[in-house]
Amino acid sequence: MKSMIPQKHTFFIMLAVLMAGTLNACKNEVGKPNVIVILVDDLGATDLGCYGSDFYQTPHIDQLAGEGVRFTNSYSSCTVCSPTRASIMTGKYPARQHLTDWIEGHKYPWAKLKVPDWQMYLDSADHTLAEAFNNAGYFTAHVGKWHLGELEKDWPENHGFDINIGGWAKGAPHRNKTKGYKGYFAPYGNPRLEDGPDDEYLTERLTSEVCQLIDEKRNEPFFINFWLYNVHTPLQACEDKIEKYSALIDSTKRHQNPVYAAMVEHTDEAVGKVIAKLKEEGLYENTIILFSSDNGGLIGRKKNKVTNNYPFRHGKGGMYEGGVRIPTILYAPHNQSKGLVIDEAVVSTDYYPTLTQLAGIAIPDKQKSAMDGCSWLPLLNGEGTEDRDAIYWHYPHYHQEGAVPYSAIRMGDWKLIENFESGESELYNLKDDISETNNLINSDTTKAQYLKDKLNDWRLSVNAQMPSVNPEYDKSRSKKKR
């Protein structure tokens, strides 16, 4: 894996100016760049025009990619929501936090393995990304999905955000016929979001909230988590968009679902509106935007297909590349990285060190040493690779989309997946075989053993929780949920 275009000298000059707080482009009084983290829920690796979708239309996000940096080997730190979100907020691997599954996870009481007790909240002892910015004098806001704890003490306002709009226990818009909650359409039944007029679309509402915050805080530095509920199920979108894509369906296309396509377009419009607002306020040249997803795209069932992550194998809740490959774009106007395409493998744990470094916020050494993320600054300035030799995943859980307890390592072009249920491992060379179709476990035993040992050493180093033998194991009921 290697990268890209040397920009070293220009970059350092710009960074020095930025850190000194005297950059002319800065609009707020203290000269700090604003930051907006746009996290889309379940957006698959090929779900954007600039990542190869042949059906979904995403002109605003594609334009952002052209004006920023597009990562071609970007990974979420888990195949499901909550662990990735926790790793973004802390810079730590989910395994290190023992927050390894979505909250509250699927329960398979008769499965072959018993999953470990795992943490269902963000630890208050962690110094979050929001706290880092808040302590540096930033106004901090969380807008949208959170999904990092059932109790109010676990919600964004108690983890460094000055304001929380719409973030609470739920990982998807709330649907309840008895109470009249309609998912993506108001009323939402969300305790952190006052209901708008009936049938207001959630993403449009949250976008307006973000734009209003930008307007109100234009003269002070702000850090905004805009974590969309889109494009997670339930699949719901405005009728005009669904009609548009229904008319465009073509059996030759890889992507086929018109409602999902409409949800992707809602996402694109949200990004477009936020950028337009930043431009209107004269803040676009002083705002860092990180756009990403929290896990791979959901494939769905045969009769109700959602998206397709081809050429990547499988999708959300699975053990292969489709579960953890995500689109990622970084727009950082100060570092002259416009139009770069970076092939180095990166992961969600990196957002924390990257964004703080770009904003000139120092992380204390003690905290840094407990972090797993690496700053992308060496990649952005063409100085070479990140300070890591491998990326790791650890998911000691079962998921209805197909995952059984497993760990995985990617090192260079190689990926090894260790399946705890079967006791078998799989080895792939991603350079030759991006779709993970040719298992080389028996043909390169030296490589396989090396990666297996390295993966095991890593698990020990982060004190990863392991599944155990399940005394309740019942083969006939092993795939049944409680």
The DSSP element (H or E) to which 338 belongs, if any, is: none
Given the residues 26, 78, 81, 238, the one annotated as active site:
81
Given the residues 60, 98, 147, 266, the one annotated as active site:
147
Minimum CB separation of residue 413 from Ca ion in Å reads: 27
Question: Beta-strand (E) ranges in 255-305?
Answer: 287-293, 300-301, 304-305
Closer to Ca ion by Cβ: residue 128 or 295: 295
Minimum CB separation of residue 144 from Ca ion in Å reads: 12
Minimum CB separation of residue 317 from Ca ion in Å reads: 9
- Selection from 364, 352, 431, 464 nearest residue 73 by Cα: 431
CA dihedral over 72, 74, 80, 85, signed as positive or negative: negative
Minimum CB separation of residue 85 from Ca ion in Å reads: 8
**CA pair distance 339, 73, nearest whole angstrom:** 16
| Interacting residues toward Ca ion by CB under 5 A | 41-42, 81, 294-295
Closer to Ca ion by Cβ: residue 33 or 171: 171
Minimum CB separation of residue 84 from Ca ion in Å reads: 7
Closer to Ca ion by Cβ: residue 145 or 205: 145
Check: CB of residue 219 under 8 Å from CB of residue 282.
no
Minimum CB separation of residue 236 from Ca ion in Å reads: 16
Closer to Ca ion by Cβ: residue 23 or 237: 237
C-alpha angle 287-338-214 in degrees, rounded to nearest 5 = 15
Check: CB of residue 50 under 8 Å from CB of residue 61.
yes
How many CB atoms neighbour CB 307 within 10 A? 31
Closer to Ca ion by Cβ: residue 136 or 172: 172
Two tokens, residue 343: 């092939």
Minimum CB separation of residue 235 from Ca ion in Å reads: 14
Q: Please tell me whether residue 392 adopts helix, strand or coil conformation.
A: strand
Closer to Ca ion by Cβ: residue 112 or 145: 145
Two tokens, residue 121: 């909240």
Closer to Ca ion by Cβ: residue 294 or 321: 294
81 is known as an active-site residue: yes
Q: Which residue is nearest to Ca ion (CB)?
A: 81
147 is known as an active-site residue: yes
What b-and-e string marks burial along 264-299, b requiring 16 or more CB atoms within 10 Å of the CB?
bbbbbbbbbbbbebbeebebbebbbbbbbbbbbbbb
C-alpha angle 56-59-62 in degrees, rounded to nearest 5 = 95
Closer to Ca ion by Cβ: residue 27 or 145: 145
Minimum CB separation of residue 295 from Ca ion in Å reads: 5
Q: Please tell me whether residue 201 adopts helix, strand or coil conformation.
A: strand
**CA pair distance 147, 190, nearest whole angstrom:** 13
Provide long-range contacts, Cβ within 8 A and 24+ apart, for 275-283: 275/60, 275/64, 277/210, 277/211, 277/214, 277/215, 278/214, 281/27, 281/214, 281/215, 281/218, 282/27, 283/27, 283/34, 283/214, 283/218
Provide long-range contacts, Cβ within 8 A and 24+ apart, for 432-438: 434/311, 434/312, 434/321, 435/310, 435/311, 435/312, 435/313, 435/321, 436/313, 436/320, 436/321, 437/313
Catalytic residue numbers, as ranges: 81, 147
